[in-house]
Amino acid sequence: MDTLQQKLSKAAEIINKASYMTAFTGAGISAESGIPPFRGDDGIWNQYNPQVLELNFFMRQPEESWKAIRELFYGVFSEAKPNPAHHVLAKWTKGDLLKSLITQNIDMLHQQAGNEQAICFHGSSQYLICMNCDNRLKFKPSILETIPPLCPRCNGLLKPDFIFFGEGIPPKAYRDSFEAAQNSDVFLIIGTSGEVSPANQIPEIARHKGAQVIEINRDISHYTHRTTTLFLQGEAGTILPEIDLLLTN
């Protein structure tokens, strides 16, 4: 069994030779920025009922959903800053080493770190959308002074522009993600449990096409024994900077 140090060197070697590298991130990459993931010991679902993010529940009881959303997401996001893992990916993008970045996160931390083009597979918290007239508004804290927030144009119910359980993936994000996975010869899976579909099909596509799949996770995930070719166990904010130090180009 290789030691972590040997695995880090192997990862650096693979990344050095990549011609099309994609990274696919989940809530775990933002855990070290103070944003709790859904699952795991410190996960949100140990405290809240996931139905607050179901579209049907939201439409029936928007006030209750919005109270949870305001606390779980907007409150926490306003304090959070990108961590070293986000910064390394942004550096690799600038250096043209990372060609695509797909995130399941809605926290905008990749964008804050400089990855403005990150594909938001589940939408983002940056906009609110009117359920009545499709008006799209940029989020600002004053919008949440009344709960549920209402559309300034038509008084319709506003919903965050990230997808709830029961909603489809934004079509462009879907297309771009599957295309990136197909083009990849190196594919990084970072901080995601692999429990959310259809997002969890993206790494499978890359693997199926023959990509080397490097996974970074604190724990074993659904991918580890099925999709991953090199598993680096640890925290993304430590592992990614360590790999970065070992790169030659």
Which residues contact ligand NAD (rule: CB under 6 A)? 26-28, 30-32, 35, 37-40, 43, 104-107, 122, 191-193, 195-196, 216-219, 221, 235-236
Per partner kind, with CB cut-offs from 5 to 8 A, the member of Zn ion, ligand NAD, none near residue 28 is ligand NAD
Residues 6+ apart with CB under 8 A from 56: 166
Residue nearer to ligand NAD on the CB measure, 151 or 188: 188
Place of tokens 């994000």: 173
Interface with Zn ion by CB under 5 A: which residues? 130, 132-133, 135, 151, 153-154, 156
Residues 6+ apart with CB under 8 A from 47: none
Per partner kind, with CB cut-offs from 5 to 8 A, the member of Zn ion, ligand NAD, none near residue 27 is ligand NAD
Given 86, 122, 208, 222, the catalytic residue: 122
DSSP code of 165? B
122 noted as active-site residue: yes
List own/partner pairs for 196-203 with CB under 8 A and 24 or more apart. 196/26, 196/104, 198/169, 198/174, 199/104, 199/121, 199/122, 199/169, 202/24, 202/102, 202/121, 202/177, 202/178, 203/24, 203/227
Per partner kind, with CB cut-offs from 5 to 8 A, the member of Zn ion, ligand NAD, none near residue 153 is Zn ion
Least gap, CB of 123 to Zn ion (angstroms):
18
Which residue type does 115 have? Answer: N
Place of tokens 């995601």: 192
Residue nearer to Zn ion on the CB measure, 154 or 220: 154
CA distance 159 to 129: 5
Least gap, CB of 184 to Zn ion (angstroms):
40
Least gap, CB of 19 to ligand NAD (angstroms):
26
Instruction: Tell me the catalytic residues.
Output: 122
